[in-house]
Amino acid sequence: MQGYFLVKFENVVYANCELYKYAVAQGERGFRKLLIAKKITGKYIFDQVFYPVTPEQRVLCNHYAPVFQDFDDEIRYLNVVSKKTLNQLKEGACEVFRTAYVITLDNRLLPNFFKYKYITFFKARDWDCSKAQKYNILRSMATIKLCGFLYIALNAVDVRIGTPTIATLKK
């Protein structure tokens, strides 16, 4: 079981598949009936499907103690870094981000990319390093956590971080 999540996305509250299935549709069978009858349609956010909930359905969802995530609030802290600024960073002549780090990733290692408006994301996977080292790298990157999965923004910074790490792709 993945867990129960309510996500505010573009000013609409959505429930993840698991929550909608049990709280609103009263089980797998009811959920399948709603899908077959086309009474509900899912909305993709990155690689996950969510279903809109009405205020009455949200009350039903609250009985399952879901985690509420405000995607709209989190995305506003991410700013895209221009190519000119990235080139200046690599040369060490950038005045805007004096303490920023740039890491270059091989795009063959990243199977899927997800685009939201002007930012491209990829899903973080496990890699071989210590948990402390991984935590230190990720806490300085522009990330969004959605339903327990971590998505890292490419060529972007989180404005709340003093010393950001910017992930770029190898050409």
Tens-place pLDDT, residues 146-156: 998 889 999 99
107 in the same domain as 54: no
Q: Please check whether residues 25 and 54 belong to one and the same domain.
A: yes
- Average confidence (pLDDT) over 113-130: 81
pLDDT tens, position by position, 38-77: 999 999 999 999 999 999 999 999 999 999 999 999 999 9
Last residue of a domain, one of 16, 44, 70: 70
Q: Are residues 48 and 127 in the same domain?
A: no
Total domains present in the chain? 2
Structural domain including 40 reads 5-70
Given 70, 104, 122, which residue is the final one in a domain?
70
87 and 157 co-located in one domain = yes
Both 137 and 106 in one domain: the answer is yes
Can you tell me the mean pLDDT for 118-129? 78
Same domain, 26 and 97: no
In the block, which residue shows the tokens 């509420």?
A: 68
Task: Report pTM.
Answer: 0.87
In terms of C-beta distances under 8 Å and separation of at least 24 residues, what long-range contacts does 35-43 make, across chains too? 42/17, 43/9, 43/14
Same domain, 45 and 90: no
Rounded distance between C-alpha atoms, residue 105 and residue 170, angstroms: 6
pLDDT at 112: 86
Task: Based on the fold, state whether residues 59 and 115 are members of the same structural domain.
Answer: no
Query: Are 50 and 104 part of one and the same domain?
Result: no
Query: Which are the contacts of 29, defined by CB distance < 8 A and separation ≥ 6?
Result: none
